């Protein structure tokens, strides 16, 4: 799903556009025991509660692709997969089948790695997809398809902090009553995906609040796909491992590669898609930056081997467009990413130095301005 498609669904979680038919929920404690479960018509809820649920659902479609939001395709065998069929049956049940709901909760509880209490929220919706003109204007009376979907949000539930409260009726300050608070979702998914503004039963959109901590076992249980998600950090580590094993990449090569990536990311600023490249395209960019042909081939083959079924890498995982970080054995240097072209290495008196030119004679050490920088 691209950014526009995600925003289109996100806009449905408002009072004016709400198309949610039913909501089901299951509260699970830290011992993986179900404390309560219930299902009801969404619009029968009190208005105050509905708006709080909208906040949770919108949060489940927020963040950036490759960092919080992931497209996950089902491994299709003979036209479908068992997990896909199960989610499709759940969707078609309109959350009105206790048996399939119970099985769904069981699958989540068995595979979700979380040691505290949490709430599983599941909604069913029907979105009458409006047509669009050539200039992207909505035509509300030109719908040709209804997007029937489910969304599941897994929200941590934590005990509110202890403290004092003012009881104006009793005229005193007293110990505050602690209660269990439902937080914003840690994980969520939308099924089916809304690809090309249409129902795609072979794909889902997955949300993770913390990209370094991805629930791989849960995603496998939902889709049957192993290691379906790679966080930005994992993608960067994967490529770094390939470069370490198969190349003798130089500082100048990395610098040139980083500059090209930043130019590409700037060109696509605000675009609807996260910029991704195949292993071959990545190797081509590195070769253009200075890698030789043999090392370039090593990058292509190494990435293909490590990626498995995942075919592309997010460029934003490899280069931070805001800052560049340089690590040595004894130091860590962070600079503005746009400044990377000015950095160079020099050999002086038998030692290698990283040179960072000063635009002005202004230097701070631990927040303290330092005067009298010497120039040779």
**Per-residue pLDDT reduced to its tens digit, 116-141:** 999 999 999 999 998 877 666 667 66
The residues facing 205 across adjacent strands are: 71, 190
How far apart are the C-alpha atoms of 281 and 167, rounded to whole Å?
Answer: 65
Q: Which two structure tokens, joined as six digits, stand for 3?
A: 């950014």
Give the other-Cβ count within 10 Å of 376's Cβ: 3
* Predicted local confidence at residue 140, as pLDDT: 66
As a whole number, mean pLDDT of residues 239-264 equals 90
As a whole number, the mean pLDDT across the chain is 88
pLDDT tens, position by position, 165-223? 898 988 999 988 889 999 999 999 999 999 999 999 999 999 999 766 678 889 889 98
23 to 41, 91, 101, 118, 141: CA distances (angstroms)? 6, 12, 11, 16, 28
Q: Which two structure tokens, joined as six digits, stand for 149?
A: 């979907």
As a whole number, mean pLDDT of residues 76-105 equals 88
- Does the structure show a pLDDT above 60 at 273? no
How far apart are the C-alpha atoms of 261 and 242, rounded to whole Å?
Answer: 18
The pLDDT confidence band at residue 272, using thresholds 50, 70 and 90, is very low
How far apart are the C-alpha atoms of 62 and 269, rounded to whole Å?
Answer: 17
pLDDT tens, position by position, 20-71? 999 999 999 999 999 999 999 999 999 999 999 999 999 999 988 878 898 8
The helix (run of H) or strand (run of E) holding residue 358 is none
Does the predicted model carry a pTM greater than 0.75? yes
In the block, tokens 């719908």 appear at 143
The closest alpha carbon to 280, from 263, 257, 295, 297, belongs to 297
Q: Which residues, in sequence order, are CB contacts of 12 under 8 Å at separation 6+?
A: 18, 19, 125, 127
Largest CA distance in the chain: 80
* Predicted local confidence at residue 49, as pLDDT: 96
Three-class DSSP category at 346: strand
How far apart are the C-alpha atoms of 241 and 256, rounded to whole Å?
Answer: 19
Helix, strand, coil tally for the chain in percent (to 5): 35, 30, 35
* Predicted local confidence at residue 367, as pLDDT: 84
User: Are 355 and 345 a contacting pair, CB within 8 Å?
Assistant: yes
* Predicted local confidence at residue 225, as pLDDT: 78
């Amino acid at each position: 799903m691209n950014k526009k498609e995600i925003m289109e669904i996100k806009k449905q979680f408002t009072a004016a556009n709400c198309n949610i038919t039913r909501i089901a929920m299951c509260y699970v404690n830290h011992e993986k025991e179900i404390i309560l479960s219930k299902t009801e018509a969404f619009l029968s809820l009190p208005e105050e509660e509905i708006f709080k649920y909208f906040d949770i659902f919108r949060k489940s479609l927020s963040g950036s692709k490759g960092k919080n939001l992931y497209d996950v395709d089902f491994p299709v065998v003979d036209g479908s997969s068992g997990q896909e069929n199960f989610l499709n049956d759940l969707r078609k049940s309109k959350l009105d089948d206790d048996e399939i709901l119970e099985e769904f909760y069981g699958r989540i509880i068995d595979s979700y790695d979380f040691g505290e209490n949490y709430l599983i929220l599941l909604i069913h919706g029907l979105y009458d997809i409006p047509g669009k003109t050539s200039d992207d204007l909505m035509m509300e009376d030109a719908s040709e398809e209804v997007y029937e979907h489910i969304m599941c949000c897994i929200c941590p539930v934590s005990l509110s902090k202890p403290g004092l409260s003012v009881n104006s009726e009793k005229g005193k300050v007293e110990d505050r009553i602690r209660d269990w608070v439902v937080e914003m979702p840690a994980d969520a998914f939308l099924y089916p995906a809304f690809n090309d503004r249409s129902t795609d039963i072979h794909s889902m959109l997955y949300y993770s609040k913390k990209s370094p901590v991805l629930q791989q076992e849960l995603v496998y249980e939902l889709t049957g796909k192993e290691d379906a998600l790679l966080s930005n950090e994992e993608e960067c580590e994967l490529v770094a491992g390939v470069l370490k094993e198969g190349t003798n990449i130089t500082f100048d090569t990395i610098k040139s590669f980083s500059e090209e990536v930043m130019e590409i990311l700037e060109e696509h600023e605000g675009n609807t898609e996260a910029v991704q490249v195949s292993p071959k395209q990545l190797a081509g960019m590195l070769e253009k930056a200075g890698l030789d042909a043999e090392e370039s081939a090593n990058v292509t083959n190494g990435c293909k081997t490590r990626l498995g079924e995942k075919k592309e890498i997010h460029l934003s995982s490899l280069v931070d467009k805001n800052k560049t970080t340089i690590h040595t054995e004894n130091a860590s240097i962070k600079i503005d990413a746009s400044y990377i072209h000015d950095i160079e290495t020099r050999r002086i008196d038998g030692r290698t130095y990283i040179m960072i030119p000063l635009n002005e004679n202004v230097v701070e050490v631990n927040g303290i301005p330092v005067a009298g920088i010497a120039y040779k």
